[in-house]
Amino acid sequence: MINKKTKMPWIYVGKTGTGKTTKALECLPPDPIIRYANEYDIEDNFSIPKDRGILIEEAHYKPNVDLIIKTILEYKGTIVLTSINQKDVPKKLYDMCKLKRAGTINHAQIKLKESGCINTEDIDSGLEKNIFEMINIYLRSKDRDKVAEMLKYNKPYDEMLLTWIMSSLKTEKIAFIDAKIKRRWSSDYLYELIAYAHAGAPISFSPPRRRAYDRRPLICRKIGLRPTDYDLLDMLKQDSEFENYIYKTLSPVDRTAVGVKKQIVVKKQKEKTVTLEDYL
């Protein structure tokens, strides 16, 4: 327990040109050991001086996970990793690190502008996008090859992608893809069809609105009806015993939805004792 390491390594995540390596080097001593994750070959971690430090670059691309984890557990000095995204870093490696964002400023693009390069606005700092960025690029970009490449790289869920697109762009081509092609062919081919179904135009983006969840089928299942028999409830509630059964079975929210607010007390009639006088 005395030699147990408690300091977790940092992992800087950011797109190409955002300064991941620069920020990582600032956390390390002047002359660190630098290795790419897919070429990582250090096995004797105890022989590395504690004040040297280790920088592991591109942890998203085929990292040598076993050796890297061995170094994290054994090396007592500072360890820093870099990656262009989170999703491609193996989970058991990512869970052993503390995340730091490199930021969104593309320093490489700024340097190109300062050196006199023109048309640098079209330089893409990376393909990884969230759903908002993907839809904005899909609607506005004229470079449909770039759009197809972006969709194939991120692989958004097909139903989510089509729902978000159709909230802003209602075309017959998108409807045809949704109805006829979805899930039948390879995902890459589907993304290409979606990419080239629109030519790109300055269209305003409006996110889809979430529809209210319909609890009627669930209520029917709870009280022993088929999910489609919700319309029969008004007729069945005329029976006081069934209405009490609904009250006992459903939650207060579901009771209010079906219109059962309180339990009905059913008075039982006492059975009359038959005597000899009743036959006279």
pLDDT digits (tens, 9 = 90+) for 260-272: 877 766 556 666 6
Among 39, 74, 30, 78, which residue's Cα sits nearest to residue 58?
A: 39
Give the residue numbers spanning the domain of 83: 10-107
pLDDT one-digit tens code per residue, 161-219:
888 887 777 676 777 776 776 667 777 888 888 888 888 888 777 666 666 667 888 88
98 lies in the same domain as 144: no
The single-letter DSSP state of residue 180 is I
Residue 3 within any structural domain of the chain: no
Residue 210 within any structural domain of the chain: no
Residue 134 within any structural domain of the chain: yes
Domain of 46, CATH number, reads: 3.40.50.300
pLDDT at 73: 92
Q: What share of the chain is helix, strand, coil (3-state, %, to 5)?
A: 45, 10, 50
pTM above 0.85, yes or no: no
94 lies in the same domain as 51: yes
Q: How many domains does the chain have?
A: 3
Residue 254 within any structural domain of the chain: yes
Indicate if the pLDDT at residue 13 is higher than 70. Answer: yes
Phi, psi values for residue 274, rounded to 5°: -80, 125
16 lies in the same domain as 88: yes
Indicate if the pLDDT at residue 12 is higher than 80. Answer: yes
